Amino acid sequence: MRVLLAHNSYQQSGGEDAVVANERALLANGGCDVELLHIHNDEITSFWHKLSTTLNLTGSARGKKLMAHAIERFRPDVVHVHNFFPLLTASIYDACRDAGVPVVQTLHNYRLTCAGAMLFRDGGPCEDCVHGSPYQAALHGCYRGSRAGSLAVARMIEVHRRNNTWNTRVDRFIALTRFAKGRYVAAGIEPARIAVKPNFVPDPGRMLPGAHPPRSGALFVARLAPEKGLGTLLKAWQGLAVPLTIIGDGPLKDVAVAGSGGSITYRGRQPALEVQAAMRRAAFLVMPSESYETFGMVSVEAFANGLPVIASRLGAMAEIIEDGKNGLLFRPGDAADLADKVKFVASRPDVLRTLSAGARATYEAQYTPEVNLRALLAIYEGVLKERHGLNPAHDPVATARTRLAAS
């Protein structure tokens, strides 16, 4: 099984880059031959680079050429796109079509219908461009606060919506939750063209009883941006004696610094191993996001470490966190409701133990590498059979499955 991954990294590394690295290793360990076509926004260094990128958002001859060369060299069975914005562009699909190679694309955000990619505006969820013209984004400066930039991205969305690109150039999309799939269907992508497969994280192993100090306190790990609910978090903690550790960096860093003190400790950005260590020290994670998270990797990282999550009852979070099983849900933006949930779990160690066990059980059932590999291979199998009508004797996915079962 030969899989060509394609990914355009943003200037600030994030969850998408981690997912690409994890899935690349997952496929290789499962017996697939994997290559990555990678491009980075760091190459946008001058005004002319920015102008050229903006003018070519709807399609790039360079992106198509890069994909065509990668296909000619590697000869993949399937191309799996993680992000094409802004340098690769949707022109890479034309190269795949010309070569007769099926395409799978993971939908890490809502960029195909929302210039800001998060369906978030003015402090809450926004679906104006899902149901109406994407040019509304230009009125509000949804892309990085720039009306000109938002106009360019909106034009990209409108051109491909009008050309029906997503329903004619991509064999299968991967939505990370059922909720996210629903938003994409509302935006015009055919339901049968969207599979649901969550992300995964490597297994850090179970915490053995007595091997670690007792868990205590709350943990918040996120980019410090308005949609992550930092304001609601700090408001909820007024008067709470429960220790809270904040890890992250971003435009609201000054707000986090100003709000620290007393029971709140701000630690800034931390390496992955320290984040995991913090997850093994804390009693629960708080995830007060006020936007439609497409997935929320931090919640699954928490589950893997046996850490229950208190989250907003909103979008994908309300799907991933099962109230009373692996965490608790509160009303989005309601600091008083969040404070009540924190007080409850902080006063009930028996409940925390139950939620902790439920968090780890959820991880083992849904988010391990083994579960994810089986789901990913099934998606590849589906598109290959649709394209080529493969029988088991000549199916590269069947070969990968056999290697996986033997390993």
**pLDDT tens readout for residues 196-235:** 999 999 999 887 666 667 899 999 999 999 999 999 999 9
Which of the pair, 68 or 45, is modelled with greater confidence? 68
Helix H, strand E, coil C: the string for 94-163 is: HHHHHHCCCEEEECCCCCCCCCCCCCEECCEECCHHHHCCCCHHHHHCCCCCCHHHHHHHHHHHHHHHHC
Lowest mean pLDDT among 7-11, 61-65, 392-396: 392-396
Catalogue all structural domains in the chain, each as residue range(s) with its CATH number: 2-201+369-406 (3.40.50.2000), 218-366 (3.40.50.2000)
Q: What is the pLDDT of residue 121?
A: 95
Q: Is the pTM of this model over 0.85?
A: yes
- Tell me the per-residue pLDDT of 138-178, one tens digit each, with 9 for 90 and over: 999 999 999 999 999 999 999 999 999 999 999 999 999 99
Please tell me the distance from the alpha carbon of residue 282 to that of residue 303, in angstroms, as a whole number: 12
> Between the CA of residue 181 and those of 67, 107, 175, what are the distances in Å?
27, 9, 5
Ramachandran class of 306: left when φ > 0, alpha when ψ lies in -120 to 50, beta otherwise? left
